[in-house]
Structure 1
Amino acid sequence: MENPWRQRWQEGRIGFHLSDTHPSLIQHWPMLNVEAGAKVLVPLCGKSLDMRWLADKGYPVLGIELAPEAIEQFLAQRNAGVSRYTQAGFDVSRQGNVELWCGDFFHLHIQQAAEVGAFYDRASLIALPPATRERYAFHLAQLVPPGAKGLLIGLTHEEADAGPPFSVPDSEIQRLLTPNFRVELVENREPDERGRSESVWALERRGPRV
């Protein structure tokens, strides 16, 4: 993950953070028919309240985040105990059904993600510059098993290469993900006041089910 993202957390420039659960998660997650109790991988998770929503629905969450500031702010949102330990080079904080690993997503290995059965990308792919997105798509595919389902929320805007968050056109999302995932566009959201448009994708890891 690139330093500008960490710098934004340190400076409090996190306008991308939603103060509520993303409406597209609420609307589209049920249609995925994710197995009850499946652990959900949330890469580059920030302090997203979407993780609370998933956990409250009975899905254990494995969030990966580079910025410790984001993790501490997430934990402070709820007055509940936190257990902390180190595993595989990550500083891990567990609060209830949410497990947050502080470190580089690309250093997460399949052994650490062995229990993952689903995934959710609200601001991961769009946080990465073009040169890193291909690596991200490949690494995500290595971490989730065949048949695993997930949602990905894309973003387009007219600020050229400005970011993060970056503008990632639908054609690029399809190019990056279709080699390893079944990809379906399920929603195009109306542009916001800044002309930024979100797209919502249902994904399923290709390959024989185990």
Structure 2
Amino acid sequence: MSTSWRQRWQEGRIGFHLEHTHPALTRYWPELDVAPGTKVLVPLCGKSLDMRWLAEAGHPVLGIELAPEAIDQFLAERGMAVARYTQAGFKVSRQGSVELWCGDFFHLHIQQAAEIGAFYDRASLIALPPATRERYAFHLAQLVPPAAKGLLISLEHPDHGAGPPYSVPAGEIEKLFTANFQVTLLAKGQPDERGRTESVWALERRGPRP
């Protein structure tokens, strides 16, 4: 995936990027009741403006992104100072309360995620081919503590084998996550002109509360 993903960014083939905050984030994140100051993990974050919204809502953000082009574009869109350093093999750029870690999400270990208390996935799961999605769900469960809450936005479309974005039906989401998370469907949209339907899920990590 790494080569094709980098190529998409280098060629500007990023139709998945939204030029605004995703409406499901502003609508449903407050319902999760995540405490202000809770650090939010955003896997495969791209240059999503959703990270700005989370930061402005009082959450430090840790975004993981493989393509340095995405990180550079995110940082350039706001003329703020950037601190750069290396952490556990990742090149980290910090701008305000947003940290962007350039590298492979699967190389992020629990020691680096110690401060994480919530997560947000708008385009991570649906960016991964079927064989990788199970690994993703398991790795996410290892990174977040018991009672951590997250918002997942998924997508279904008629061309099930094509992607990214890939079609991930409700049954697969439940199969992937219910072993480690309480999974709740919050909303399902109407199909767009291409037959693509978004769904919004609340996840809460199972286990004893800290």
TM-score, structure 1 normalization? 0.98
Match of 1:200, SS?
Answer: strand
Q: Contact 2:188 / 2:198 at 8 angstroms: preserved in 1?
A: yes
Tell me the CA shift for residue 28 of structure 1.
0.2
Distance of 2:136 and 2:117 partners within structure 1: 18
Tell me the CA shift for residue 159 of structure 1.
1.4
Match of 1:137, SS?
Answer: helix
Matches within 5 A, 1:85-96: 85-96=85-96
Distance of 1:182 and 1:157 partners within structure 2: 25
Q: Which residue of 1 aligns with 2:148?
A: 148
What is the RMSD computed on CA atoms of the aligned residues? 0.8
Q: Which residue of 2 aligns with 1:122?
A: 122
Match of 1:78, SS?
Answer: coil
Query: Partner letter of residue 8 of structure 1?
Result: R
Tell me the CA shift for residue 2 of structure 1.
3.9
Match of 2:165, SS?
Answer: coil
Distance of 2:27 and 2:10 partners within structure 1: 32
Q: Which residue of 1 aligns with 2:168?
A: 168
Query: Partner letter of residue 112 of structure 2?
Result: Q
Q: Which residue of 1 aligns with 2:25?
A: 25
Count of matched residue positions in the alignment of Structure 1 and Structure 2: 210
Q: Which residue of 2 aligns with 1:188?
A: 188
Q: Contact 1:75 / 1:95 at 8 angstroms: preserved in 2?
A: yes
Q: Which residue of 2 aligns with 1:135?
A: 135
Identity %: 77
Distance of 2:157 and 2:110 partners within structure 1: 34
Distance of 1:39 and 1:137 partners within structure 2: 19
Gaps (5+ residues) in structure 2? none
Q: Deviations over 1:15-47 (max 9, x none)?
A: 010000000000000000001100000000000
Distance of 2:155 and 2:24 partners within structure 1: 13
Q: Contact 1:63 / 1:101 at 8 angstroms: preserved in 2?
A: yes
Distance of 1:5 and 1:155 partners within structure 2: 19
Q: Contact 1:147 / 1:209 at 8 angstroms: preserved in 2?
A: yes
Query: Partner letter of residue 13 of structure 1?
Result: R
Q: Which residue of 1 aligns with 2:54?
A: 54
Correspondence 1:37 to 2:37: yes
Tell me the CA shift for residue 10 of structure 1.
1.2
Q: Contact 1:36 / 1:58 at 8 angstroms: preserved in 2?
A: yes
Instruction: Say which is worse superposed, 188-197 or 29-38, in terms of deviation.
Output: 188-197
Gaps (5+ residues) in structure 1? none
Distance of 1:99 and 1:160 partners within structure 2: 34
Q: Contact 2:188 / 2:199 at 8 angstroms: preserved in 1?
A: yes
Q: Contact 2:2 / 2:66 at 8 angstroms: preserved in 1?
A: no
Query: Partner letter of residue 51 of structure 2?
Result: M
Q: Contact 1:2 / 1:128 at 8 angstroms: preserved in 2?
A: no
Tell me the CA shift for residue 4 of structure 1.
2.1
Matches within 5 A, 1:4-23: 4-23=4-23
TM-score, structure 2 normalization? 0.98
Tell me the CA shift for residue 127 of structure 1.
0.4
Query: Partner letter of residue 25 of structure 1?
Result: L
Correspondence 1:74 to 2:74: yes
